[in-house]
Amino acid sequence: MGPADSWGHHWAGILFSASLFTVWSLPTAAHLIPDAYLLNTIQKALAKPTISVSQGTATEHREKVTFYCDTKDVNITIHWVSNNRPLVFHERLQLSPDGKTLTILTVQREDAGNYQCEAWGARQIQSSDPTFLMVNYGPDPIEIKLESGVLSGDVVGVMEGSNVTFYCFSWFFHNDSLLSLTTRTFSIHAMSREHEGTYRCLVSNSATHLSLLAALKVRVLERLAKPCIVSPSRNLQENANSVALTCQTTHEGDRVQWFLKDQLLLPSKHLVLSADNKTLVIHGLGRNDTGPYECEVWKWGSWARSEPFWLTISYGPDRVDITMGPGSGVVRDVTVELNSSLTLQCRAESQPGAEYCWTLEHSTTVYMVGTLTIAALSWEHQGIYNCTALNPLTRLTHSTLVLVRVVGSQLSWSAGTIAGITIGILTVIVLSTGLGCFLYIINVGW
């Protein structure tokens, strides 16, 4: 091998070493540079955006408002938040292509509140401080309200002498004299005819420079006097032809309505009202038509009702029953021991309460009691007793009979004898005893 070959081998070794160095060193250099770049990108925090607004206070329906979100970051998206909720877009909201400019084209009251913008990066979100938008609006349409009163069309009626409170802001009387400038309420004590007229309420908004005027016409109602019910007679008889009740009032032009037992009276063939409702005619009086009746007058919301009116309707006596005292059933035939006591009670439904008289066949004695008591029965007490009930007003009477048999150690009547007596004299006894009571009643002025 000559010198040339030796130098060739030498440079070949050097080049081979350099090649190895290049091959093994390049990956190391290429790995270090990208890692540093990514580390810087990830650790860089987004800047906090800021909001600017064209005006913090706006008037409803008159102005537009523009918000601008300022941020130095790039490669981000902008999101808007209103009152801590994502902003819902509608036709009145306009957003620029980059999302940084938000415009409310026509401000309304619901647009008031806090606004924020958010900058969204790959892995971070930054929010601005809230900016408050105030929206001035109104006054809205107003309505005058009264604490008490009766509305009829566009007029409110209030009772004479009552205390009334109106609700609003500023008040003008009907002759335009200023009553109050700042109060929301206005009260009048003891309303009178002098207070009748039109009241006006002025509502103003110094920010919007708008004003509204409302008007209310007030009419003072006459306080009605209590009516009264009159009738030709309160003492009436059942099944009489008719009776008329009249509602008397001192007022003219008032309307009348009737109440029966605290319920509105409904006209019928039995209960007939006159054309002006002031007279009530009751046809075919019955015992249940006693009432109470009331009439009520009213005019423009003012009303007054009469005192309850009762009718006294006489009836009866109805069927007469004889018993042996409280708790006993009706008796027609009674058998008792000689020398024992006997109680017979006569009763009949009647209004007013019936008066009673007792008679015994073949005897002229008349007992003017409802309850007949015999302490010690003798043979003379045996026989048929008649009880007659008399209504002192209708003068009507009703009678019934009871057979009393006395039994004892002495000879007594047989059942057949008693039955024969009963059948033979029953009709005569009814007529004669009833007539006897009637004649007795006339003689003693019963």
Choose the most confident range, by mean pLDDT, from 3-17, 271-285, 293-307: 271-285
Q: Tokens standing for 403?
A: 């057979």
pLDDT at 183: 67
SS3 readout for the chain: CCHHHHHHHHHHHHHHHHHHHHHHHHHHHHHHHHHHHHHHHHHCCCCCCEEEECCCEEECCCCCEEEEEECCCCCCEEEEEECCEECCCCCCEEECCCCCEEEECCCCHHHCEEEEEEEECCCCEEECCCEEEEEECCCCCCCCEECCCEEECCEEEEECCCCEEEECCEEECCCCCEEECCCCEEEECCCCHHHCEEEEEEEEECCCCEEEEEEEEEEEECCCCCCEEECCCCEEECCCCEEEEEEECCCCCCEEEEEECCEECCCCCCEEECCCCCEEEEECCCCCCCCCEEEEEEECCEEEECCCECCEEEECCCCEEEECCCCCCCCCEEEEECCCCEEEEEEECCECCCEEEEEECCCCCEECCCEEEECCCCHHHCEEEEEEEECCCCCCEEEEEEEEEEECCCCCCCHHHHHHHHHHHHHHHHHHHHHHHHHHHHHHCC
Out of 74-78, 201-205, 248-252, least confident range: 248-252
> Does residue 154 or residue 246 have the better pLDDT?
246
CA of 239: how far to CAs of 236, 288, 304, in Å?
Answer: 9, 11, 33
* 418: confidence class by pLDDT, cuts 50, 70, 90: very low
Q: What is the mean pLDDT of residues 202-230?
A: 88
As a whole number, the mean pLDDT across the chain is 81
Give pLDDT tens digits for 256-282: 999 999 999 999 999 999 999 999 999
Q: Is the pLDDT at 186 greater than 60, yes or no?
A: yes
pLDDT at 166: 86
pLDDT at 177: 44
Q: Is the pLDDT at 25 greater than 70, yes or no?
A: no
* 415: confidence class by pLDDT, cuts 50, 70, 90: very low
Q: Residue 402: which of 376, 441, 375, 374 has the closest Cα?
A: 374
Count of residues making up the chain? 446
Q: Tokens standing for 121?
A: 């990066």
* 172: confidence class by pLDDT, cuts 50, 70, 90: low
Out of 128-142, 163-177, 418-432, least confident range: 418-432
> Does residue 430 or residue 341 have the better pLDDT?
341
Q: What is the mean pLDDT of residues 15-19?
A: 40
Of all residues in the chain, the percent with pLDDT exceeding 70 is 78
Q: Is the pLDDT at 359 greater than 60, yes or no?
A: yes
Q: Cα Rg for the chain, rounded, in angstroms?
A: 55
CB atoms within 10 A of CB 339: 11
Q: Is the pLDDT at 13 greater than 60, yes or no?
A: no
Q: Is the pLDDT at 197 greater than 50, yes or no?
A: yes
What is the C-alpha to C-alpha distance for residues 11 and 4, in angstroms, rounded to an integer?
11
Out of 24-38, 160-174, 234-248, least confident range: 24-38
Q: What is the mean pLDDT of residues 144-164?
A: 80
* 121: confidence class by pLDDT, cuts 50, 70, 90: very high
Q: Is the pLDDT at 234 greater than 80, yes or no?
A: no
* 59: confidence class by pLDDT, cuts 50, 70, 90: very high
Q: Is the pLDDT at 167 greater than 70, yes or no?
A: yes
Residues whose CB falls within 8 Å of the CB of residue 195, separated by 6 or more in sequence, listed in order: 188, 218, 220
* 169: confidence class by pLDDT, cuts 50, 70, 90: low
Distance from chain centroid for Cα 74: 67
Residues whose CB falls within 8 Å of the CB of residue 349, separated by 6 or more in sequence, listed in order: 316, 317, 318, 319
Q: What is the mean pLDDT of residues 36-57?
A: 78
CA of 244: how far to CAs of 254, 257, 312, in Å?
Answer: 20, 15, 14
pLDDT at 253: 67
Q: What is the mean pLDDT of residues 162-190?
A: 68
Out of 40-44, 209-213, 330-334, least confident range: 40-44
Q: What is the mean pLDDT of residues 124-144?
A: 92
